[in-house]
């Protein structure tokens, strides 16, 4: 048995230390350039990001939530319109629909991946439905090929919530190529994160790109000329940081996948106690989160045991969207059908530490303590 140690949930400072000289140069360059907002560092990063996604456009915005509601607005979706998404996501997905003034319509997630249950989407379509927002939860793509086919049948827009899934891919499809827009987040804890907030929209549609460019900058594409808009820009200092980090994203995702494979191998013998993450055939899951689910209950005790033993496991997310009292229900949102999987997931999920800079002894210790928790509580 290993001596007690602490395993953190995030490795932000380690990542900074690894890239220190390059990052320090990047932000000093911005600082001494005299250009901090909508400057050359942003333009460079947007070009790199579009090339990376293989999309025609990438547009930096203030954060991932803005990326989603600005996309809705650029597509002309707002009051009187309905947007379908899932009850199993971070709150911001639903919030973005509410900010745009549209009505959120929720369907359940499915048990294998915890992504939107594609078989439930068509039951939620009404004459008012304008869009679907699939979420690539935990770092695994939703079934975009099936979602795109449904969208085509009903003439709906698709906006991918890729906040957790940069560098993920599906079987035979890439993010941004079966949708009208992709919103992503660069808040520090995401797989590609800056030291603060940031976000971007990727799209192949010129009209959507122009709409986002206008909306993020006070409705202005030309100095002193304005239509309506907002202030939601990605600062040059963040863009410069993200340019340094974007070059590493594939290697970081590969390392996450390698750690996930170690967890899954080691926990194979306790599948009667824990449901393990499942990667769909041919998909590239990038494990923003490695989420296990307790099959016999006892999640809170399980989590407390890990935390007491020094493993900073967490829960994503213990309260499903429709269980949030703060969400505007009634006229402004509705749920279609039972959402049993989302509720079950909220009650049983545990996220184990997962970031590329985890050391082998931290991985081994997390495995040892998780197995011990299974013996004691499972
Ligand atoms: C983080 C996240 C967002 C919001 O991103 P912010 O940059 O925090 O606004 C949206 N959707 C999902 C699924 C997320 O995980």
Average pLDDT estimate for 108-117? 98
Q: Are residues 238 and 268 in the same domain?
A: no
Q: Are residues 214 and 135 in the same domain?
A: yes
Q: Are residues 44 and 138 in the same domain?
A: yes
Q: Which residue range(s) make up the domain with 340?
A: 249-376
Residue 286 has pLDDT above 90, yes or no: yes
Question: Quick check: CB of 199 below 6 Å from ligand 1?
Answer: yes
Cα–Cα distance, 40 to 48 (Å, whole number):
12
Please answer whether residues 233 and 62 qualify as being in contact, where contact means their C-beta atoms are separated by less than 8 angstroms: yes
Confidence of residue 327 (pLDDT cuts 50, 70, 90): confident
Domain-embedded: residue 5: no
Q: Are residues 307 and 221 in the same domain?
A: no
Interval between CA 326 and ligand 1 midpoint (Å): 17
Interval between CA 199 and ligand 1 midpoint (Å): 9
Cα–Cα distance, 149 to 357 (Å, whole number):
39
Boundary (domain end) residue, out of 227, 246, 265 = 246
Q: Are residues 273 and 242 in the same domain?
A: no
Q: Are residues 102 and 233 in the same domain?
A: yes
Boundary (domain end) residue, out of 204, 221, 246 = 246
Instruction: Give me the CATH number covering residue 156.
Output: 3.40.640.10
* Nearest-atom index, ligand 1, CA of 189: 1
Instruction: Say if strands 103-107 and 333-335 run parallel, antiparallel, or are unpaired.
Output: parallel
Instruction: Give me the CATH number covering residue 330.
Output: 3.90.1150.10
Boundary (domain end) residue, out of 197, 215, 246 = 246
Question: Quick check: CB of 170 below 6 Å from ligand 1?
Answer: no
Residue to substitute in 63, 115, 163 for testing ligand 1 pocket (most ligand atoms within 8 angstroms of CB): 163
Q: Are residues 328 and 204 in the same domain?
A: no
Residue to substitute in 70, 90, 116, 160 for testing ligand 1 pocket (most ligand atoms within 8 angstroms of CB): 90
Both tokens assigned to 45: 């990063």
pLDDT in tens, 38-68: 999 999 999 999 999 999 999 999 999 999 9
pLDDT in tens, 57-111: 999 999 999 999 999 999 999 999 999 999 999 999 999 999 999 999 999 999 9
């Amino acid at each position: 048995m290993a001596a007690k140690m602490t395993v953190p949930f995030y490795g932000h400072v380690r990542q900074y230390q690894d890239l220190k000289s390059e990052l320090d140069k990047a932000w000093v360059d911005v600082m001494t350039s005299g250009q901090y907002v909508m400057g050359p560092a942003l333009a460079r990063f947007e070009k790199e990001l579009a090339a990376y996604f293989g999309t025609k456009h990438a547009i930096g915005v203030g954060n991932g939530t803005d990326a989603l509601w600005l996309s809705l607005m650029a597509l002309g979706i707002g009051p009187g319109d309905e947007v379908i998404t899932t009850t199993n996501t971070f709150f911001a997905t639903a919030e973005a629909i509410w900010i745009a003034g549209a009505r959120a319509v929720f369907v359940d997630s499915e048990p294998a991946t915890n992504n939107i249950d594609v078989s439930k989407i068509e039951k939620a379509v009404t004459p008012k439905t304008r869009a679907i927002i699939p979420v690539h939860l935990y770092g695994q793509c939703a079934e975009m090929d099936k979602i795109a086919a449904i969208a085509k049948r009903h003439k709906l827009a698709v906006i991918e919530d890729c906040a957790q899934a940069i560098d993920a891919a599906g079987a035979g499809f890439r993010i941004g190529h079966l949708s009208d827009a992709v919103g992503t987040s660069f808040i520090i804890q995401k797989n590609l994160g800056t030291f603060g907030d940031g976000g971007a929209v990727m799209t192949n549609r010129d009209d959507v790109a122009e709409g986002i460019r206008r909306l993020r900058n006070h409705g202005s594409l030309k100095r002193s000329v304005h239509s309506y808009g907002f202030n939601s820009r990605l600062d040059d200092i963040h863009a410069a940081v993200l340019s340094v980090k974007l070059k590493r994203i594939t290697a970081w995702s590969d390392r996450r996948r390698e750690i996930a494979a170690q967890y899954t191998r080691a926990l194979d013998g306790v599948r009667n106690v824990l449901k393990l993450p499942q990667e769909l055939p041919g998909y590239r899951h990038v494990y923003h989160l490695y989420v296990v689910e307790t099959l016999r209950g006892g999640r809170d005790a399980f989590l407390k045991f890990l935390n007491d033993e020094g493993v900073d496991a967490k829960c994503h997310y213990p309260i499903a969207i429709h269980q949030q009292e703060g969400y505007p229900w009634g006229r402004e949102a509705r749920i279609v059908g039972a959402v049993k999987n989302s509720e079950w997931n909220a009650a049983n999920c545990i996220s184990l530490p997962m970031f590329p800079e985890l050391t082998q002894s931290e991985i081994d210790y997390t495995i040892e303590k998780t197995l011990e928790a299974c013996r004691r509580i499972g």
